[in-house]
Structure 1
Amino acid sequence: MPKPDESPDSGTEKKGITDSVLFSLIGYRLKRVYMQIQPLAQRVLAENDLRVVSFSCLSIITDNPGIVQSELADALQMERSNLVVIIDELEERGLITRKKIPTDRRRYALTATLRGRHLRDRAAAKVRTAEDEVLGWLDEDDRDRLLTILGRLERRTAR
């Protein structure tokens, strides 16, 4: 693995192909790393009968008891209508509860069950371990800096 301050191997240099322009683009580089992590995450989540999107919903609901569907959609940057099937699935599996809000009967408060919280925690640990297959050479300071930078980018683009 290259050290953080070394030039990265593009994966194509072995074939004598260069891509210096693409590798100077942050979005492209983020996508390439994500494309390495995604199949690993999908594999470990599938072991718990979860998909990335259902795990994401469960995780946000776990950390935000009583969240409503519109808030969840905003947090995940998804259309509310696309969440209905996922919320139904999580509820049918006994991972979340959906209760009418007394002051607004059209809205439902979503809360993770104990089973849902335990599943989220186990799945998150497995995803972190899978991420380490790609990012394991980063030390804690590098990981913290990367997460800080990504957070700043997310906040900036969310405006």
Structure 2
Amino acid sequence: MTADASRRSTASRATGRPGDASPFALGLLLRRAHWHAAAVMTEALRPLGIELRHFAVLIVLVDRGPTVQRDLAVATGSDKAGIMRVVDDLERKGLAVRKAVPGDRRVRAVEITPQGVELFDAAHVAAQPLAERLAAGLGPGESEQLADLLTRFADAGAGEA
């Protein structure tokens, strides 16, 4: 194999094309899918005055109830400083509050407010047509299948971060 052929062979990998055998192909496809989905969801949230990082925390709070910041950081893939900024923003907007955790003066749990629940519901209404557009290229049942596969993929790697 010539150097040119070797370079072409290597360069054609990690492209996201079907059959790409590169160990980076899946990661790159996931990244591209994330960018696309984030752009669509950001469009839905913009009129509501929040960003995707804020909404990610609201999702966790609705799902789990009051949650300590450390657990919010893990659940949203954020770091300690980043989650503090997001919670500060949510508090300023009246969407969440920090409350003392009984038995530990140093720890605060974050809780969604009634205004936060209203915004959460409004975001789902606003996002529905955009989510349908996001999944428009998928066939019947494929959106659910993709969600199931991604959930299993994300859960399998959750302890490795």
Show structure 2 runs of 5+ residues with no match.
Answer: 1-11
Partner Cα distance (1:130, 1:137) in 2: 13
Show structure 1 runs of 5+ residues with no match.
Answer: 1-18
Contact 1:62 1:116 in 2 (8 A): no
The corresponding residue for 1:91 is 91
Contact 1:96 1:111 in 2 (8 A): yes
The corresponding residue for 1:118 is 118
Counterpart of 2:124 in structure 1: which amino acid?
Answer: A
Contact 2:14 2:28 in 1 (8 A): no
The corresponding residue for 2:63 is 63
The corresponding residue for 1:39 is 39
Contact 1:64 1:111 in 2 (8 A): no
Identify the structure with bigger relative contact order (alpha carbons < 8 Å, sequence gap 6+): 1
CA RMSD of aligned residues (A): 2.0
The corresponding residue for 1:80 is 80
Partner Cα distance (2:116, 2:47) in 1: 15
Q: Secondary structure at the match of 2:36?
A: helix
Is the alpha carbon distance of 1:72 and 1:140 closer, same or farther for their aligned partners in structure 2, counting shifts above 3 Å?
A: farther
Q: Secondary structure at the match of 1:158?
A: helix
Aligned pairs for 1:123-134 (under 5 A) are 123-134=123-134
What is the CA distance between 1:139 and its match in structure 2? 4.5
What is the CA distance between 1:123 and its match in structure 2? 1.0
- Work out the number of aligned pairs and report it: 142
Q: Percent identity?
A: 24
TM-score scaled by length of structure 2: 0.78
What is the CA distance between 1:129 and its match in structure 2? 2.5
